[in-house]
Amino acid sequence: MPRTPLEPRFTVEYLSILDSDGNLDSALEPDLSASELKRLYRAMLLGRRLDERMVRLQRQGRIGTFAPIKGQEASQLGSVCTLRPTDWMVPSFRETAAMLWRGWPIEKLLMTFAGQLEGTQPAPDQHDLPITIPVATQLPHAVGLAYAAQYRGDDVVVMAYFGDGATSEGDFHEALNFAGVWHVPVVFVCQNNQWAISVPLKKQTHSRTIAQKALAYGLPGLQVDGNDVLAVYAASKEAVDRAREGGGPTLIECVTYRLGVHTTADDPTKYRSEEEVREWERKDPLTRFVEYLRKKNLLEEGLEQQVDAEIAAAVKRFEAMAPPDVLTMFDHAYAEKPPELLAQRDELAGRLRGPDDAGSAPEPPSSPPMRGQRKTSRWQN
């Protein structure tokens, strides 16, 4: 018997509205007001400036290792701005700009990268999950949130972020499969920055695009110019609106580039060329958007100075806080602490008290704080 085609040949679309030379496809230009465009640019500038300041803080030993976002501002802000406060945002570990948009204070983000657990805790009314370091593990969680919203009949959309490296993990495929089967209101935003640390995209997949991976799970997939904030916005708004109306999940692949290091512990000169970086610098999302706003006469005088002052004030507040209680590191691994963990805690408590107290009895272990309670004085200042 001859083979019978079961499906027509699939196609994957690519969307670009404002190219790297500043050329605008006015037919596709989204309907954004002047105030919305200004707010978007300010958020992009704040994300970039904070990123640069945090690199300096890390090099000075004032915070720990973190993952810079330089070059990926449009992918994050063009998508997250389409959410309502009641929607859920699920980040990976490189969504600083998106977290700022969602209301995370700068000093709280600095606490996170200084290794303080209080920095990772969302506000009680905040519909965000904390950052996730293990690659792709947040994606099934995002689908679970969307499934819960669907089950309860809540008017909620979930947006989950991840990188191209995450698409090589089983969690990614499990999440897309579950989302497709249950038709849940989730938007998957892949920031394809070309490198999973030092592994290039071509060594992760033989697929021409990441967006096409959605088709296998029965959901739409779209590739967009991730350095074009207008294109990211248009694609994300369409996906969010469709999810909210019961149309199910979408995978958006934002083709962008990590202009800086993977983390501040990385040296990208070992695995990528200067020519490649310079080529992508010419596609910088900020310079492109600046030209667009200049033609509309929407650039604000003194905005850079305002943003720098906001960051400086937040750094000052962060560094004025009291040091954390390091013993809290023992509080959240076990519901009932095993004896060896208690012994380690007691030994550290003795060392922290100093040599004068070395012979005294160790302090009794404290109970773990309830959610919302904090043992340190940092939050009481």
Catalytic residues: 258, 262, 271
CB 223 within 8 A of CB 210: yes
In 33-117 the beta strands, taken as DSSP E runs, fall at: 88-90
What token pair was written down for 50? 């904070």
Beta carbons within 8 Å of 314's beta carbon, 6+ residues apart: 105, 106, 107, 110
Degrees to nearest 5, angle at CA 342 with 337 and 346: 155
Q: Which of 89, 86, 81 is CA-nearest to residue 237? A: 81
CB 193 within 8 A of CB 272: no
CB 95 within 8 A of CB 131: yes
H or E element, residue 367? none
H or E element, residue 56? helix 34-59
